[in-house]
């Protein structure tokens, strides 16, 4: 098996390009991610009430029948 000549710049060209493309992609996605996090609503603007529903023999507290 013959070893590749690693002293020529053309051998390292693809590695360098991948590194550069990765850095550009990282910068683009990082700025979009930071913007999305900054504008996202973390807490609802109004209080959310989740009614408690107790079922007894197929009927809730308001005597509505549920299957």
Block mean pLDDT (10 aa), the chain, length 67: 65 64 85 86 72 61 63
How far apart are the C-alpha atoms of 50 and 21, rounded to whole Å? Answer: 48
Query: What are the helix (H) ranges across the chain?
Result: 9-39
Report pLDDT for 49: 75
- What is this structure's pTM? 0.33
CA distances to 50, 52, 53, 58, 62 from 67, rounded to whole Å, are 21, 17, 14, 6, 15
Token pair 């700025």 is found at 31
Q: Round to the nearest angstrom and report the end-to-end CA distance of the chain.
A: 74
């Amino acid at each position: 098996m013959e070893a590749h000549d690693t002293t020529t710049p053309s051998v390292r060209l693809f590695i360098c390009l991948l590194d550069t493309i990765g850095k550009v992609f990282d910068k683009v996605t990082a700025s979009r991610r930071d913007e999305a996090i900054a504008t996202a609503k973390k807490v609802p603007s109004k209080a959310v009430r989740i009614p408690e529903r107790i079922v007894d023999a197929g009927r809730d507290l308001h005597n509505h029948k549920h299957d």
